[in-house]
Chain A
Amino acid sequence: MNKQVVISARHLKKSFGKDENVQTIYSDLNIDIYKGDFTVIMGSSGAGKSTLLYSLSGMDKPDSGEILFDGTDITKLNSDKLAVFRRKECGFVFQQIYLIDKMSLMDNVITAGVLTNKNREDIRENAKKLFSLVNIPELTWKKNSSQVSGGEAQRAGIVRAVINHPNVLFADEPTGALNSANSAAVLDVLTSLYEQGQNIVMVTHDKKSALRGSRILYIKDGEIFGECNLGKYESDHPMRTEKLERFTAEMGW
């Protein structure tokens, strides 16, 4: 089956630091992200998972290489054009959530929504539906991020990320700061969104989170070291868990 490529990155090079302190994360990395996938990027700490995620989403620029996002080379865009690109094409979920403090959950969502939709009421209606989808009760919408649980805040973060119907939802360790109950709830939301057709790219080092993905990529030594197709998630079936365990073991996890 020929899958449609959403993001195609070629010969990516990225390093940090200067002179003798230079640390190369990857020097010639190639990767394709396909439409209809819940892509999970795994790897050990410092392997460059998040760096790759942010390069693919136009949040950070690689030192060299080409990233074609739906045919557009986003490495050539300036910062303002990248901002406009992100508002239309990308949604972001962060490990530290990063809702704007002292602003209600609803306003956090509207703040993102107004970038692509001039009709505030329309945004509000969409937000309400999404809040219901992620199980955030109406009474909580007007609360600030500091007044809700971490799980609720992260689910609101997901609503903010998808309010503009992004082409790809990027999630960087979305359960990293949450307890197991809240993590499960957040993963359920992501799974649900995926089932509704949302393309997702998620970085995680948590196998439970990785189980939700349909395609697992393992990054090691600056390249995509291995790939595992888990298929569509239905439940934490032992076979699926075992397949992932075997894959990570092969990768040297």
Chain B
Amino acid sequence: MMKQAFTLIKHNLNKMKGQFFSFGIIICLTAVIMNIALVLALQTFSAYDDRFTELGTADVNVMISQMEYSDTIIGEIEKIGGVMTAEKHEGVLVAATVREFADADFDMNTVFYNLDADRRINRLEVSAENETDERLIYIPVYMKELGGFSVGNYITYSINGEDFICKVGGTVSEMQYGNYGTGLIGAYLPDAVYSEFAEEHIENKIVEYSLIIEEGVDLEEIKTSITELLKNKGISVLSVSDREVSRQTRTMVCTLLIVIFLALAAIILTVSVFLSDFRIRSAIEDELAQMGVLKAVGYTSGLIILSTVMPYTLVGGIAAVFGIVLSYLLLPAVANVLAIQSGFSYTPVFDVGAFILVLLLLSLSILLFSYISSRKIHRLEPINAIRGIIGKEGAGQNILLAAVSFGIMVLLSFAGTLLYNVGLKPDNFMKTLSEESPSVIFTAESGKMQELKNVLLEDNRTESVLEYITAQVSSPDGSLTAFVCEDFCKVRNDICYEGRNPKKENEIAVGNALAEKYPIGSEIEISCSERTAGFSVTGYVQSINYAGEVCELTEGGYDRIGGSVGTVYVYLQDKTADIFIAEYEEKRQELIATSVNYERLAENSSKIYAGIVSVVTVVLFAISVLLVLLVLYVILGSILNRRKTEFGIYKAVGYTSRQLTIKTALEFLPITVISAGVSAVLSIWYLPAMNQSIFSLIGAMKNHFEISIWILIIFVLAYTVVSFVISVFLAAPIKRITAYSLFKD
């Protein structure tokens, strides 16, 4: 059968080289995106797990203050059912501000460890050793990649107002923290440096129990058992982390990227399926007589369908293979970008599973849909086909163009909204991704809080002043970052996404990580220092930076567990934080212990995100233009072929090529404008839901994005103009059609 159809298949391929080339490009693009997504999905998580095992990383890490430590605890932990082995590590846990982290100051709860201590569990892999007399520090890969610290650079940790400056001696690859998603990060000091540092921060010394548990044992059960064990001994847990939470937070961006890539690949595949469907239907109409002749000379419907479907499947298959190969050129770069967020790197390798999956999925989709499109060949009676009699045809090209314009406008509306909320209204983006963002944070000198507040309130440059602190507290489920505020009604970024903020001293709002366990109205015990109190849950708050392991407490509530708020958040009317801080540090130094320029931090973060979003927008726009180009190429190719006679007649009566080109391009304008416009108008309703669902994947439950009508209008106009220009360009071959060809034909 294939041998009989071979000549026709070859002929069809030759006849529409350009059309198949454009089709191949789309499939190639789909394969690139799809294979990247699949390789990431198939290799990132297993590479993570391999690295996890390779470094003997603990399944559960529990941290307590060294002051509460006793020798017997480790033995008791090892006796808990399901615990295979446990190891004790020492460290120093401090709330530090890392200076010049990605050109900004970044608050990080950091655990300093002794790099030279023996470890069986949570082993470290040091990538560079530096022989020098200077004070050295070894930083995680994440700090190097995202923070921009290289070996040989100096890094400054501001701890309790004092600068701790070290030279970066190398990077440490470890799988316990990796990135800051869990709210803690490691730092590693050589033996001598560590001893000196630990001596200076003796009250912050911690003991960490790292546990390897038996396969199949529930992590939550183990965590609860340990927390109970320690609670019964009157020991507060500073932090409990487990492999699942770490894995989830470290692979968050990767998961998001996989979802976006797969969605993008699905959109492009749908467009290419539409394209092949349109092309096949056009071919049946355009070559009706030839199909009739083929039937007359003895070709069965099956053979003709085979010769129609095979070129698409072959081109699709070859383009898919080419796209898969191409994706491996891009994958190392994508993996490197992801390593910045995940804090661990790996080199993607050729994946047979992904190869087969992409190839089969694309080839079978093309085969199936092109078969469905060409099925009507079965119904063609040879004599009717020769006489040009065919059943009623729909407005195929208009439907295709409308569908593509609608789909592309979905992409552009998403990209435009992202750009608007990151580039033009960065507050919306920061509110979605971060917590409270003041202009300046001052830590008051002991006993000077009220005086500092009064001075700030009298300053006519301030818009408002709020007592607010980010502190560490403990819950039965481990350590929580608490946002403590004098009045949550006055905050600028209300992160409560369900229920309400706490108002009374016995109320609490908990982070999204605890939402499932603590329904609104339930009780939770919170400890700080040595005091514990019960709180009633009033609502849920989001937190991306702390993986949802947060809570909100009132100042009174924080006071109940022995905490006090020592910092004020200052909101300035203008962006003058630099001058403001300099002035206060000079004139009011008796009131201020430390200051943080949060305005600069937010701006720097916005710049980083704006850069990424700009790239995303440009890529989406480029993909959109490419899709429009390819779709119009197919449609115009078909129109020029079908309406050759009509154009010849127009030329015979005096139309110029230019007039006909513009006329043809203008024919697409109404459908392009209407479908893009409808999509843009509908996006006002669907975009919030779309943004909400995409950002909720990374824990941003409350989306502050605004939809700009102007941005949508600009993108609709841009899309229309680009489509028109492409149409004019593609309709140019009209000039090759002559009135004379009418007679010749």
Contacts and interface: CB of A to CB of B under 8 A. Distances in A.
B11 interface: yes
Given A102-B15, A110-B7, A114-B4, A84 B298 contact: yes
Contacts of B386: 94, 98
B301 A100 contact: no
Given A98-B290, A100-B293, A101-B290, A111 B7 contact: yes
Contacts of B3: 114, 118
A59 B23 CA distance: 35
B426 interface: no
A86 B381 contact: no
B130 interface: no
Interface residues of A, number: 31
A115 B297 contact: yes
Contacts of B15: 101-103
A96 interface: yes
A63 B382 CA distance: 16
Given A98-B290, A110-B7, A114-B3, A80 B298 contact: no
A220 B539 CA distance: 93
A54 interface: yes
Contact of A107 (B4, B11, B300): B11
Contact of B300 (A83, A91, A103, A110): A83
A94 B386 CA distance: 9
A interface: dominant SS: mixed
B interface: dominant SS: helix
Nearest to B6: A114
Contacts of B382: 59-60
A160 interface: yes
A161 B296 CA distance: 10
Contacts of A96: 289
A86 B298 CA distance: 5
B383 A60 contact: yes
B281 interface: no
Nearest to A157: B293
Contacts of A83: 295, 298-301
Given A60-B381, A60-B383, A118-B3, A92 B297 contact: yes
Contacts of A59: 295-296, 382-383
A35 interface: no
A195 to B, nearest CB: 24
Contacts of A84: 298, 300
A112 interface: yes
Given A79-B381, A111-B7, 15 more contacts: A54-B383, A59-B296, A83-B299, A83-B300, A84-B300, A86-B295, A87-B297, A87-B299, A90-B296, A100-B294, A107-B7, A107-B11, A111-B8, A111-B11, A115-B4
28 contacts: A59-B382, A60-B381, A60-B382, A60-B383, A79-B378, A79-B381, A80-B300, A80-B301, A83-B298, A84-B298, A86-B295, A87-B299, A96-B289, A98-B292, A98-B386, A100-B11, A100-B293, A100-B294, A102-B11, A102-B14, A107-B11, A110-B7, A111-B7, A112-B298, A114-B4, A114-B7, A115-B297, A164-B298
